[in-house]
Amino acid sequence: NSTDEIALDRLQGLTPAQMAAGGTNVQFQIRRDAGTLNCEGWFKDGKGSGHWTYTPNASFVAELRRMGYDAPDEEEQFSMTLNEVSLAVIEELKAQGYEKPTTEQLVRLGSHGVRLDYVKGLKAAGYSPQNVDTLVRMRDHGVSLRFIKGFADMGYERMSLEDLVRTKDHGVSPDYAKEFEALGYGKLPLEQLVRMKDHGVGVEFVKRLDALGYNHLPTDQLVRMKDHGVSTEFIQALKGLGYDRLTVEQLVRMKDHGVSAEFVKSMKERGIQNLTVEELVRLRDNGIN
């Protein structure tokens, strides 16, 4: 099974009216350089089903040979048809100075979703990886043209290919960077964004901290709080017990030593009032529950 999006104008013989009909037989073709898919079936209310046959294109193989490539076997040519490995893609790679790929690499290029628009789009964005394995790696890691443009529009121009892959792998999106910029953090270095994302620092966490009076904390403190389990719920509970505006270091220390809001409350209920953070820590360290 495979799923792919195809523009309607590429389905020769199929019209919007047929697709929207109350029920009609249809025949159409999907023609590509490597071969043609002959489709036949039924459409009703925008949904269709049916079967197809495949006709390989002999002239495609002849053209590949003329360009100096080995002829693909039947399975490879079918894959090149399904995944739209076109002569235009091959010519574009050559025009951009890529290392000449093997036929097997061309097949792999298509099966991993590298299309002509991606190769051209990378060049327009200032990238020409020079080998198809790098193209495949970028696609496999989800580095889309939109992803690249999103960072470029924010001023992260000419990120290295490695930075693009790494940033994507760690879940740092242009939207993530924009959210922190909107909170007043400016254009944060990629390394900081990656570290924050890795440690679970999200924009909602920062907003809740702001609401509690912890405004615009340095990113290293945000990471430290997350690492030590200092949540906004923890801070809010302590505030309700009279421990207002504790420092980040105090919050971390309390969390590390097991000083919970429940523990503070139990001390108050025993008549032990107004303990300092250090006194609370010392009590917990001495096994007082």
**Torsion of Cα atoms, 251 then 252 then 255 then 256, to 10°:** -150
pLDDT of residue 245: 86
Q: Which residues contact 78 (CB under 8 A, 6 or more apart)?
A: 34, 35, 54, 56
pLDDT of residue 157: 81
- Contact, 232 vs 248, CB < 8 A? no
Contacts 24+ apart (CB under 8 A), 208-214: 208/232, 209/235, 210/183, 212/236, 212/239, 213/245, 214/248
- Contact, 205 vs 232, CB < 8 A? yes
Q: At what angle do helices 87-95 and 58-66 cross, to 10 degrees?
A: 20
Give the number of other CB atoms < 10 A from CB of residue 228.
15
- pLDDT by 10-residue block (mean), the chain, 289 residues: 72 90 92 96 92 97 98 98 97 96 98 96 94 96 97 92 97 98 96 98 98 97 98 97 95 97 94 93 91
* Dist CA 52 CA 29 (whole Å): 9
* Dist CA 142 CA 135 (whole Å): 11
Q: Give the residue among 137, 129, 133 at the shortest CA–CA distance from 106.
A: 133
What share of residues in the chain are helix, strand, coil (percent, to 5)? 55, 10, 35
Question: So where are the chain's domains?
Answer: 203-285
* Dist CA 166 CA 219 (whole Å): 20
DSSP 3-state assignment of 11? Answer: strand
Helices vs. strands in the chain: H and E counts, helices first? 17, 4
DSSP 3-state assignment of 256? Answer: helix
- Contact, 256 vs 283, CB < 8 A? no
Q: At what angle do helices 161-169 and 132-140 cross, to 10 degrees?
A: 20
* Dist CA 14 CA 16 (whole Å): 7
* Dist CA 68 CA 251 (whole Å): 68
Give the number of other CB atoms < 10 A from CB of residue 151.
22
- Contact, 263 vs 241, CB < 8 A? no
